[in-house]
Homo-oligomer: A and B are copies of this chain.
Amino acid sequence: MRTAEPSGSLADSIRAAGLKVTAPRLAVLRILDQAPHSTAERLFATVRAELPGTSLQAVYGVLAAFTGAGIARKIEPAGSPALFERRVGDNHHHIVCTRCSAVHDVDCTVGEAPCLTPSTASGFTVHTAEVTYWGLCPDCQAA
């Protein structure tokens, strides 16, 4: 059960990130809640339904502002356009269906920050570890 987020709290999130509150930003942030792992194009189509004047560039601008301010995260699975989600700050990963491209979150639980310490890092300082799982979603297993 997902309770609708009060629109005031969306505005608060945006303001708290040091950004001006605008209609496109409110719309993108709300849609990102309802449909995580959306592409810019998909967000644009949905935003447009309620704010017909909105441009695709505006959506890219909003997403750049959000990711820059740390209130949204951009993920780029191989072969897919970038996807965006609101869930930030936790070390979580993704599983992508190789057949239908469905994406789900995966909490990384092998210890705490699993795989975060590669055995041989060739002298690199590791900041983050990003894991992408590939497989078949329940629907595609059936088919």
Contacts and interface: CB of A to CB of B under 8 A. Distances in A.
Given A78-B75, A129-B132, A129-B133, A123 B138 contact: yes
B110 A114 contact: yes
Contacts of A130: 78, 131-134
Contacts of A133: 116, 118, 121, 124, 126, 128-130
27 contacts: A74-B78, A76-B78, A95-B121, A95-B124, A95-B126, A97-B124, A106-B118, A110-B114, A114-B114, A115-B115, A115-B131, A121-B133, A121-B135, A122-B137, A122-B138, A124-B133, A124-B138, A125-B135, A125-B141, A126-B134, A127-B135, A128-B133, A128-B134, A129-B131, A129-B132, A130-B133, A131-B131
Question: How many chain copies?
Answer: 2
A104 interface: yes
A56 interface: no
Contacts of A57: none
Interface string A85-103: 0000000010101100000
Nearest to A82: B78
A120 interface: yes
A107 B116 CA distance: 13
A22 interface: no
